[in-house]
Amino acid sequence: MLNVDPDTKTFIPLRSYLTDPNRAGPRFGLQYSTAPTIQPRGHLNSQDGFDLEVIDSLRREAINVREPHVSGLKKIAAYAAQLVWMGGKFPIDIGADFTWFPALGYNTKRPVSQDNLKFELCNILFNLAALYSQLAVSVNFSSPDGLKSAANYFCLAAGVISHIKDKVVPELRTAPVEDMDIVTLESLQELLLAQGQECFWQKAVMDGYKDSSIAKLAARVSDLYSTAGDWAVQSEAISSEWIHHMAAKHHHFAAAAQYRQACDCLEKRKYGEEVARLRDSMVCVNDALKESRYINKTVLSDLNGLKNKVSEDLKRAEKDNDIIYLNPVPPKSELKTLERAGMVVARVPPDVASPLDHLGDNALFGPPLFAKLVPFAVHLAASIYEERRDRLVSTQLTAPLSALTASIHSTLSALSLPGSLQALEKPLGIPPALLAHAEELRQSDALARLDRSFADTAKLKATDTATFASGREALLAEEAEDAALCARFGTLRWTRPPSREAAPKLHNQIAEIESYLASAAASDDLVRDTYRNLAPLLRILAGPDRALADFVPASRRAAIPPKLEAEASALRTCLNDIARLESRRRRRIEAIREAARGDDVHPALLAEAARLERERPDVTIVTAHFEAFFDARLGSRYDSEIAAVAAEAEEQATLLRAVERANADFVRARRGEGGGEREKALQQLEGAWVGYKDVVAKLEMGRTFYNDLSRIVGRFREEAREFGYRRRAEAAGLESDLSLPPLSSLTLQNQAQQQQQQQPTPASHAHSSHSRPQQEEPMPAPVATRNPAPAPQQQQQQPPLPAGPVAGMWNPEMGIRFGGSPAPATEQKKQAGDWAWLSLREAGEVEGWKMEFELNSPGSGLGNGGITVSSVAGPAAAGGAGGLEGGAGGGPIKHAKCERTNSPNRCSAFLSRGGALCDGPEEGEVKGAEDGEGGGETDRVAEVEDA
């Protein structure tokens, strides 16, 4: 019967963290190495009062949990809860590199570093799931209570994986690492549930449940292993050993389910159905035994025991039915599908599902850290509010009021006012209003101030342009580098997204900022042209009184007719009303701006954030939660001002209509009077004064624009440089992988090198720089290593592959030769690319033998592209191994070491697209030898046992 043993269980290995701070790079912020610290980043005013040492201590405790013990659960969960709490206090890109080693896949020795709080949370929760799975494996499986505990731990581990998949990974804002993508997490979740269901099945067997109930449990176990395997084949991180393990388990429990159902049929005297189910059970057992090279010896023993039991019962059932019962045996398609009894579900631990509920002065994980720190969402909300407030004040208050004033000036200028009225009222000398304008220009040194303003604006523009150009050049340089690398390696191998797809926001910002600069440049030119046209008149106004008097001619009229005087008085009254309106408007604009500057929203935002935390403590505060607050506050403060602007526009329209009527009467009464030249001169000076005010206002707007733009372009440059830095680091890693030469690119050199390479390689060379890395294994099966990427295509022309056997190349008719003898002298040397060869796929500990492979250096040769085996590091009886020739794999292997670790003496080699075999002990016997054909994806396997 089946047996549940801890050695048959697969647990998730813990993720490792980077312990060498020198490998993390010179980044600031949360430096989690030996003594990580939190440094200010804008929203932090001081480190005093913040729990820096506590969070450092919590992390050290969490990442140092390496043994399966329940005390580690609280350490990891406490740090994870504080990370969730910190997510509301800090930005996700806090400014620190979190560096971790993957736990699964083929890149477990390559650290992954991200400036991302959610990435840190993913890794911590992954370790929590791993710890739950290791606790499940460590319990006593021989007792019912131990099985219940194991099943519970497996369900909790699956729940943590589910939480990572559904809640944390979607908030990463970046692509997840390969061992935490959706398909990998789905596979892990189903695998953990399958093992939990298996515990319930074993408990049912131990407690003597009915065969029908045990069959339902086993069928569900088979389904879960099948689903886990289906997800695993889509993952880049699940090794082939795990996939074979899941497949074997799937068929294993399918066979067990049918066997138990057959026993139930025997009890219910359904003899024909019993035979059919026993036959299907035998088919499932044989399918499971096809994975015998990859599975644990305990599972293999169980399978063989089940096979023997099914075979015996099948012979008995067929004999009894054929002789005694004579019941028809239904085909498999007519058998009723077995019912399923699901006993497991992914249960998220409460301290993971609602971590903030466990933070408090008297709570499980203690008080929340950084409680005095204003949440980062509040800072963002304050910035958003201030931006909306300034936009509202500008677009709905000050800009409309300024437009109304401009409308007054344009209307008066079209009516030649107040110049025509001043020429009449004061025929000699300069009008008082004009003298006041001139005095203001002299007191403020207007012309020099305008020149300085133009120069300052030009400097700001030049600085912003240079900053933007620097960021744009960094972004375009990275794009060019990526394009060059893509052209070098080809799109099939250089698979990372191009620059414009990896950072569309940055590339879109180039066009946006360019449009800003172009629009600003056009406005600058317009203002400068306006000032250039006004400069002569402004120099007269700002000059001495004599020059001003010389510019304005005197009128010779002695007396004003009564009718004209009455019309002039009415017009003057209307102009005074307009002047008072302008004065009141200027004060209103200044008051609105002053009120906006004094609108401190922070206290109200803090109160609103506190209310939100009280009402929804389980929800992380984001800026969207403050939308209603924004609308209410802006409405209460500025709706009345917006209504006042509309009322003032109506008042102005009434006053301007009165001015137009009074001016028309004044013009009719004044017909025939002189003073046209004086009127024109006064009107020009008045227009110059109004234009001066407009230029000053536009220069101030330009200065504000370029100051705001400096923040935008500065942030753009920093993001572009940071993006370029990350992409170059990523490209360096990819280029390093792609530049490693595959064995197919190695060529055979002279005969002396061949003979030297065919000698048995000492075991002491097993750990050279090209050796496959070894790692701790979650199950007694070899740990797969990722294929090295193919090297760039050789430039030299390769000879075509011959259709028939060629001297020096192995084919099935040649057989297999052992020993270290060199190839025949007439043998044709291989050239790089003669045979398509992928790579060694699997190496490690298999069936009691530890294997290590090492590639030859480029240019060396060995036999016909086969491998040689070093002396076995085991008992003397094992002897030494000679070289094995005849492999069709192309590139040679320097040595492959088979080290005995237990019994039986067996060594397996796993090669791709080859046929090169690994020799075991002396006088070994080759079993299952297959040759490759230079194509296809199927691995070739050979086993060697004691003769």
pLDDT in tens, 136-163: 999 999 999 999 999 999 999 999 999 9
Residue 88 has pLDDT above 90, yes or no: no
Residue 864 has pLDDT above 70, yes or no: no
Residue 856 confidence (pLDDT): 36
Q: What is the mean pLDDT of residues 161-181?
A: 91
Closest-CA residue to 195 (of 239, 143, 135, 260) = 135
Residue 310 has pLDDT above 60, yes or no: yes
- In sequence order, what are the residues at sequence separation of 6 or more whose Cβ sits closer than 8 angstroms to the Cβ of residue 733? 110
Residue 866 confidence (pLDDT): 36
Share of the chain above pLDDT 90, in %: 41
Residue 887 has pLDDT above 60, yes or no: no
Largest CA distance in the chain: 149
H or E element at residue 482? helix 446-489
Range 87-126 burial, b when 16+ CB lie within 10 A, else e? bbbbbebbbbbbbbbbbbbbbbeebbbbbbbbbbbbbbbb
What would the pLDDT profile of 915-931 be if each residue is shown by its tens digit? 333 333 333 333 333 33
Residue 944 has pLDDT above 70, yes or no: no
Residue 303 confidence (pLDDT): 92
The contacts found for 211-216 with CB under 8 angstroms, 24 or more apart, are 211/260, 211/261, 211/263, 211/264, 211/267, 212/260, 212/261, 212/264, 213/341, 214/260, 215/256, 215/257, 215/258, 215/260, 215/261, 215/264, 215/338, 216/257, 216/338, 216/339, 216/340, 216/341
Q: Which residue has the higher pLDDT, 786 or 388?
A: 388
Q: Does domain 12-41+49-180+344-372 have CATH number 1.25.40.280?
A: yes
Q: What is the mean pLDDT of residues 226-238?
A: 94
* CA terminus-to-terminus distance, the chain: 31
Read off the pTM.
Answer: 0.56
Residue 760 has pLDDT above 90, yes or no: no
Residue 372, CA distances (Å) to 36, 367, 657 in order: 20, 12, 60
Q: Which of 354-368, 447-461, 544-558, 829-843 has the lowest mean pLDDT?
A: 829-843
Residue 648 has pLDDT above 70, yes or no: yes
Q: What is the mean pLDDT of residues 237-243?
A: 91
Closest-CA residue to 191 (of 130, 257, 103) = 130
Lookup: tokens for 796 = 């030299």
Other C-beta atoms lying within 10 Å of the C-beta of residue 282: 19
Residue 697 CA to residue 685 CA, distance in Å, equals 19
Residue 553 CA to residue 682 CA, distance in Å, equals 9
Residue 746 has pLDDT above 50, yes or no: no
For the domain spanning 207-342, the CATH number is 1.25.40.280
pLDDT confidence tier of residue 563, bands split at 50, 70 and 90: confident
Mean pLDDT (the chain) is 75
Residue 189 has pLDDT above 90, yes or no: yes
Distance of alpha carbon 17 from the chain centroid: 19
Residue 720 confidence (pLDDT): 92
Share of the chain above pLDDT 70, in %: 71
- Reduce the DSSP state of residue 53 to 3 states and report it: helix
Strands 98-101 and 16-17: antiparallel
Closest-CA residue to 682 (of 576, 568, 548) = 548
Is the bond leading into 904 cis (omega within 30 degrees of zero)? yes
Other C-beta atoms lying within 10 Å of the C-beta of residue 386: 14
Distance of alpha carbon 314 from the chain centroid: 56
Residue 618 confidence (pLDDT): 66
Residue 855 confidence (pLDDT): 38
Is the bond leading into 418 cis (omega within 30 degrees of zero)? yes
Residue 31 has pLDDT above 70, yes or no: no
Q: Which of 148-157, 190-199, 352-361 has the lowest mean pLDDT?
A: 352-361
Q: Which of 364-378, 640-654, 844-858 has the lowest mean pLDDT?
A: 844-858
Residue 876 has pLDDT above 60, yes or no: no
pLDDT confidence tier of residue 50, bands split at 50, 70 and 90: low
Residue 13 CA to residue 779 CA, distance in Å, equals 10
Residue 466 confidence (pLDDT): 94
Question: At residue 855, what are phi and psi to the nearest 5 degrees?
Answer: -75, 150
What would the pLDDT profile of 495-540 be if each residue is shown by its tens digit? 888 889 888 999 999 999 999 999 999 999 999 999 999 899 888 8
Residue 8 confidence (pLDDT): 58
Residue 193 has pLDDT above 80, yes or no: yes
Residue 14 confidence (pLDDT): 66
Residue 283 has pLDDT above 70, yes or no: yes
Nearest 5°: the CA angle 339, 160, 296 is 60
Residue 886 has pLDDT above 50, yes or no: no
Tell the burial category of 326 from Cβ atoms under 10 Å away from its Cβ (0-12, 13-18, 19+). Answer: exposed
- In sequence order, what are the residues at sequence separation of 6 or more whose Cβ sits closer than 8 angstroms to the Cβ of residue 726? none
Closest-CA residue to 317 (of 277, 274, 286) = 274
Q: Which of 484-493, 543-552, 560-569, 883-892 has the lowest mean pLDDT?
A: 883-892
Lookup: tokens for 606 = 């803090």
pLDDT confidence tier of residue 228, bands split at 50, 70 and 90: very high
Strand order from edge to edge, sheet including 883-885: 817-818, 883-885, 867-868
Residue 680 confidence (pLDDT): 80
Residue 875 has pLDDT above 50, yes or no: no
Residue 11 confidence (pLDDT): 66
Residue 561, CA distances (Å) to 481, 660, 736 in order: 85, 21, 99
Closest-CA residue to 424 (of 256, 609, 308, 563) = 563
Beta bridge partners of 113: 99
Residue 819 has pLDDT above 60, yes or no: no
Other C-beta atoms lying within 10 Å of the C-beta of residue 593: 15
**In contact, 682 and 559? CB cutoff 8 Å:** no
What would the pLDDT profile of 415-462 be if each residue is shown by its tens digit? 888 877 877 776 666 777 788 888 888 888 888 999 999 999 999 999
Residue 288, CA distances (Å) to 76, 279, 304, 550 in order: 38, 14, 10, 113
Residue 799 confidence (pLDDT): 41
Closest-CA residue to 573 (of 683, 482, 655) = 655
Residue 542 CA to residue 627 CA, distance in Å, equals 51
Residue 128 has pLDDT above 80, yes or no: yes
What would the pLDDT profile of 573-623 be if each residue is shown by its tens digit? 998 999 999 999 999 999 999 999 899 998 899 888 888 877 876 677 888
Residue 347 confidence (pLDDT): 96
Residue 268 CA to residue 261 CA, distance in Å, equals 10
**In contact, 690 and 409? CB cutoff 8 Å:** yes
Q: What is the mean pLDDT of residues 262-270?
A: 94
Beta bridge partners of 783: 843
**In contact, 383 and 192? CB cutoff 8 Å:** no
Beta bridge partners of 246: none
Question: What length does the chain have?
Answer: 947
| Domain parsing of the chain, residue ranges | 12-41+49-180+344-372, 207-342, 374-415+562-653, 740-947
Distance of alpha carbon 625 from the chain centroid: 25
Residue 812 has pLDDT above 50, yes or no: no
- Reduce the DSSP state of residue 926 to 3 states and report it: strand
Q: What is the mean pLDDT of residues 243-266?
A: 95
Fold matches, 12-41+49-180+344-372 and 207-342: yes
Residue 848 confidence (pLDDT): 39
Residue 914, CA distances (Å) to 124, 171, 766, 802 in order: 41, 44, 22, 17
SS3 assignment for 755-791: HHHCCCCCHHHCCCCCCCCCCCCCCCCCEECCCCCCC
